[in-house]
Every structure is written in C-alpha cells, then in structure tokens.
Structure 1
Amino acid sequence: MNYHHLHYFWVVATEGGMARAAERLGVAVQTVSAQVHQLERALGVSLFKPEGRGLTLTEAGQVALAQAQQIFQLGAQLPEAVRAAAQAPTLRLAVGLADGLPKLLVHQVLSPVLGVSNLRLQCFEDNPDDLLAALALHRLDLVLADRPPAANPNLRLYTHRLGGSGMGWYAAPELHAKAASDFPRSMAGVPVLLPTAHAAVRTPLDRWFQRLDLRPQVVGEFQDSALLKTFGASGLGVFPAVDAVHEHVVQRYGVLRVGAIEGVEEQVWAIGTEKRVQHPLVAKLLAGTGPKTAS
C-alpha cells in the first residue's frame, strides 16, 4: 500500500469532497481523484460512493478512514517523540531478581543507580535457573540472587558480592513478649514462620536452631519474603528479616524485634555475563564492592 495515496484519501474524507481536498493539497482535482482510485485498486474495494452532487464513504471507506486517522495522528506525534528521545535518551537496566531475595534489601542494593536521570528500570522475578537462561540470551543486564550460581561450562559468567546483612527475629506485639522472654530458648515455644528451602538463607536458619538444640514450631513456609512478613505481622508466627531494613520493617508492618539471629546473614550476589563493554549502570553497581569472580 502506498501511504501517499492513503494521505490523499484521508484528506478527501476529512474535507468532504475532491474539490476541497484539491484546494487544501494545492493540486488539481484530477490528481486527487487519480490517487484515490489507485488506493482503491490496491485495496480491491470502493472507498467512496456518489451521494447527490458529492461523495460519501462506503462501509469499507469508514473502516479505512478510522485506520488512517490513527496512522496520521501517530505520524504527527513522530517529530516530537524523536526530538524528546534525542534530547533525553533512556538508560534501560533490566534486572532479574531471584524469587528468594527480600524485596526491601533489593531496593537498598539498587539504590546507587536509582537517582540516575532517564533511568528505565525493569525488574523481573523468577527462579535463578530461568533468570540465568535469560541472562545468557542477553534479555537481562544483570541477575541478583542470594547465592552464586553453580559452575556451568556453557556460560561465561561472573559473580560479584554486592552486600549482605545480619538478620533478626520479629513478631507482632501479641507474640513479642513470649518470644522475647528468655530468648533464644523461647523460640522453641512460639510459632515460627520461615522461608521455603529455595532460599539460600533457609539452611543457615535451620542450623541456627540445631546449634541451640531447639525444635521450632514451624507453622508456615513462604517463597515470597513480603508475604512471609505480612503473615508474620498478622500474628501467625515469629519471622526472620534482615537488619538492613529494620526501621522499614518495624514501621511498615507494626512489629517488634525479638532478637538477633547470630551467625546468619542474607547475601546479595550480582551475576552477569563477561562482555567487552559493560553496561554503565552495572559498572556503577559493582564499583566499590568486593572483587568479582569469573566462572
């Protein structure tokens, strides 16, 4: 289809006739008529039909006009959109988030780039294996996970520890007194909420109980850390949270800190592919943290 012919048709339809369209376009009526007839031949339908001394749109012509309106409205917006893009280019950062990571900790880890002008941050949550597959296909710029990936000879990856945080037990006010009394031995006598085994921190939490010779009353296990906190805030059980976001957890969920989980730390690892030219925002995130390890 020739869009030049479509434009002539659109002008005829909006002006209400060939003569007015010719006057607006500054061409002869015969030229306008010829252009419209060429479009009709290309589409295989009649777009106009005689009505009195003028023309009216056929049903096919009405459909064509509706489509043409959208096309030329978008065309009118094109110069402004292009100029805006040239003046303020978007800096896209696509990050994959392992589903076991606490969201508040992720926000804190990403904070060095959140103030970058023209940032377009895209976050995708999934299991680590699927995220690494997307990373290998260059659909993601970076993956954040709670552990380094297993060695894979088919993938040239690097891992970089972005940070970590100690953890503490938290409880709703109605459970806090019982949990805080004679802590940590009291943890054997209160209901407990834990992350599921998919989270790297679950094993250290289990070992914490074993080390203290405590048998927890686990009443709930959650894959999503925000959901775990929500149920904990409702009073279902005492739950773990990272110290790095202590103030936020207390204020947002209305809970109290019971005590520290000595020897347990939630870690955040950045995983990327080895590239000759690194994404500038990825480089900004990695700057100032520990050395990266290739695999």
Structure 2
Amino acid sequence: MEQLNLRHLYYFWVISREGSIARASELLDLAPQTLSGQLATFESAVGGRLFLRERRKLALTDLGRMILGYADDIFALTGELTDTLQLAPADRPLTLAAGISASIHKLIAYYLLQPAMVLKRPVQLECRTGRTEDLVLSLKRKELDVVLADRMPGLDEHGPFTVHPVAGSSISLFAAPALAANLKEGFPDSLNGQPLLANATDAPYFERLMNWLSLQGVRMRLMARVDDSALIKVFGRQGYGVFAAPTVIRREVCRQYEVEHIARIDEVQDELFAITRGRKLAHEGVRAICMDPVNFNALSTDLDR
C-alpha cells in the first residue's frame, strides 16, 4: 500500500465506534451500500478482513484491532488540531522546541527558558538534551527552534546561524562534606594535588578554570571527565573529587547533592548562549529568551539574601 487513504480509515473508525454500518451511515450521511463499498475497498487495500459478523453485530478481527489503535491516535490528534484552529491566533498554544546541551545544569536551563514560559500566549515546550553539535544539526533541519549551549560549536560547516549571549555566572567549587572541610581553609593552595571532576575538558569555563589554577600555582589531579551536569555531581557527592558549577545555583547544588560550597571564583565565568537560525527572531518564545537575558550574578546575590 503506497499511500493510506485517510477517508477510508475514517469510515472504518466510525464503523468501529458505532458498532454497525447502519448507525455509521446515519452519522456520516452516506447510504449503507456506499459505506459497505468503501469498507470493502479499504479491506482490499490493507490486505485482510477488518470485521466479522457475530450475532448481527460487527466484531473486529486481529487486523482490525491493530488498525483501530492507530486510528484512535490519529483522529484524537486531528480533534485536538480542530479545537486549536478554532481559537483566535493569539490564543493558540505556541510550540517551542528547545535543545539544551547536556552539560548545562537543569536549573540553569529552567532559568534560561523561563522568559518564554511567562508569555501571555500559552506555550507548549518541548526539550531535547544532547551534544551541542548534534543539537545544532537538528536546528539546521528545523527540528528545533533554539539551542542553549555553554560552548561554541563549529557553526560555519552547518549553516547560517546567529549566536546570542544570554547569561553568565561566576564558577564555584564543591565537594562532599568530608573533602570540602579540608579544602576551605588555605584556599586555593589547599587544592594542590586534590582530585578534580571535569564536566567536559572542551568547555570554555574548564580551560579558564585550569588557567586560573595555574596562575595560583595549583595543580590538581584530573579524576574523570563526565559530560553530564547531573552525573558529575553524583560522583562529587560520593567523594570522588572536587567539581565546578555556576555560582548562581550553589544553594540548589548543595541541597540536592548533599555537598558543600568550597569557594567562589569570580575570575572564572561560565558563559551561556542561545543559537538560532538566521538573524530574525520571528518565533515569539525564542525572541523572549534571546532579548531578555538572565543576569545570573545578580540572581545569585538575590538568592543569598
């Protein structure tokens, strides 16, 4: 079957719901003979009987039950679409498909997306996490409306994109309580020889952190590279090493992962970007994200009050 005839599928769906051709023909305003002929054509197309007659009633065959499951999903969605199209354009939900680099902490991602979620128009948000390079390819294929990233991919090879700086935060260091207790005093010299957990060694902030440590005459031992913002904190909680995270979320990091804040390093900043297709921001949700950037350092001060 090269192409499914949706009208025939709809007739089959109504017959299944009504339980008889007679009742379905009344609902569809078709003659019973016409509807029977349409059903026969559909059965020929799908390669099997869809109904059996049992005691003057129609009973679905195994093939009929399988197709009915798909038809239920299809016509439930078309019903939702019909309801949505009946709304005034300004009242229709706005779909926003956002890609988020896996190394971005989920609370940070929430702050970045929040401007789009408070629009007067309702927003249906779809989020996808992954490697920045893969997300940018999805953006090029128009599967995503925006990509939130903490590093700059090679954009030239993918197509015309625009990069919007949306946030920045100083970096703080964290560790399990037993390890942190020995590192707070005498910081940063106390870090010498201590184990370090890295989000990703190609992340710009990591290079800045290593440069800052080098300037302080500190040399740490790289224990692991974990390109997932949540998993690295789990390793840190278990005492495997010191890890870095944006200062703005330090209270949440300490609470959720049962670690302690060692120190804030204002000289090391984590910069975040929104990547979009082209220069014009036609999408209302994307425009809110890019044009209303979050001041994370100010937010961090507010959270400490």
TM category (shorter chain) comes to: 0.7 to 0.9
SS class of match (1:201) = helix
Q: Distance in 1 between matches of 2:193 and 2:14?
A: 80
1:105 aligns with 2:108: yes
1:183 Cα deviation from its structure 2 partner: 0.9
CA contact 1:8–1:36 (8 Å) conserved in 2: no
Change (3 A) 1:261 1:86: same
Task: Give aligned-pair identity as a percent.
Answer: 25
Q: Which 4+ runs in 1 deviate beyond 4 A?
A: 4-9, 44-51, 54-58, 67-81
| Aligned residue runs from structure 1 range 131-210, under 5 A | 131-150=135-154, 152=156, 155-210=159-214
Quick one: which amino acid aligns to residue 10 of structure 1?
I
Change (3 A) 1:122 1:63: same
1:63 Cα deviation from its structure 2 partner: 4.6
**What is the TM-score normalised by the length of structure 1?**
0.77
CA contact 2:115–2:292 (8 Å) conserved in 1: no
Q: Distance in 2 between matches of 1:4 and 1:239?
A: 57
Q: Distance in 2 between matches of 1:77 and 1:142?
A: 25
Q: Aligned pairs, how many?
A: 278
Greater mean alpha carbon deviation, residues 279-288 or residues 80-89: 80-89
Change (3 A) 1:123 1:198: farther
CA contact 1:199–1:223 (8 Å) conserved in 2: no
CA contact 2:50–2:64 (8 Å) conserved in 1: no
| Alignment partner, residue 234 of structure 2 | 230
Q: Cα deviations across residues 5-61 of structure 1 (Å, max 9, x unaligned)?
A: 95699389835xx8xx389849xxxx635753664366357778888xx75768xx6
Q: Distance in 2 between matches of 1:156 and 1:120?
A: 26
| Alignment partner, residue 32 of structure 1 | 32
| Alignment partner, residue 89 of structure 1 | 92
Q: Distance in 2 between matches of 1:181 and 1:207?
A: 22
| Aligned residue runs from structure 1 range 1-295, under 5 A | 3=8, 6=11, 10=15, 14-15=19-20, 21=22, 25=26, 32=32, 35-36=35-36, 39-40=39-40, 43-44=43-44, 55=56, 62-63=61-62, 66=65, 71=71, 82-84=82-84, 86-87=86-87, 88-116=91-119, 117-150=121-154, 152=156, 155-274=159-278, 276=280, 278-289=282-293
Q: Distance in 2 between matches of 1:276 and 1:289?
A: 17
CA contact 2:205–2:270 (8 Å) conserved in 1: yes
Quick one: which amino acid aligns to residue 110 of structure 1?
L
Structure ID, larger Rg: 1
Greater mean alpha carbon deviation, residues 226-235 or residues 145-154: 145-154
**What is the TM-score normalised by the length of structure 2?**
0.74
Change (3 A) 1:85 1:256: farther
Change (3 A) 1:112 1:104: same
Quick one: which amino acid aligns to residue 286 of structure 2?
V
CA-based RMSD: 3.8
Q: Distance in 2 between matches of 1:39 and 1:267?
A: 61
Q: Distance in 1 between matches of 2:247 and 2:131?
A: 24
Change (3 A) 1:265 1:49: closer
